[in-house]
Structure 1
């Protein structure tokens, strides 16, 4: 099956929460891989950090719109997290902070995106297995 056919099938079968969960899983896995790299692997680390920042910027911008259907407090929280992610990412890129807090925030969001009947992933290995 081609990649495009798979993506089209996945889009029809997933609801928005599942799609967001899958995206968070992929981005978080990239951050986890980047965290293990030596700081001299600048390009690979920057790619993962930039992907995470762009994802959060997208969510933050979407939640800043009055047409967004989420509750106001949740929208405000997501906008605040987006701003924090942007600032923290800049510090990580300048080697003044660690990647781990970005991973932890993403994992917390992923837990919130899970249906209540599903148990959250307990380790980073679970995220890797689910999306790798």
Structure 2
């Protein structure tokens, strides 16, 4: 019986770890896309809206996940992620309203920091 419990725990840990790795990889992909646009501005302008849309969808999924009643995350972590999601949405709107490459820096930095945190968990 102990062996089965250990196996179940390991399987759950693997799913959680792979989920975090996947989230981290997606955040890094979004950050890389935004960084490329910033670095190649203004030639990259046509890629701006699709890159922002990808990033916004990613953060919308995070927001939906942390605000579910059955989220396993502690309340303060859920609240912090939800607040980050709101910030990301507002920053995305600002970039769309007045596109400038330097406005992408905060989105790139946040994605990289959160991705790094997910890999370190």
Please give the TM-score of this superposition, normalised by the length of structure 2: 0.77
Gaps of 5+ in 1: 1-11, 117-132
- Cα shift readout 1:28-52 (whole Å, capped 9, x = no counterpart): 1111111123346443011111111
Please report the RMSD computed on the Cα atoms of aligned residues, expressed in angstroms.
1.9
Number of aligned residue pairs:
104
Where do 4+ consecutive residues of structure 1 move more than 6 Å?
none
The answer (yes or no) to whether the contact 2:37–2:45 under 8 Å persists in 1 is no
Higher relative contact order by CA 8 Å / sep ≥ 6: 1 or 2? 2
Select the structure that is richer in helix.
Answer: 2
The separation in 2 between residues aligned to 1:26 and 1:48, in whole angstroms, is: 10
5+ residue gaps, structure 2, are 1-14
Which is higher, the Rg of structure 1 or of structure 2? 2
Matches of 1:83 and 1:115, distance apart in 2 = 24
- TM-score normalised according to structure 1 size: 0.71
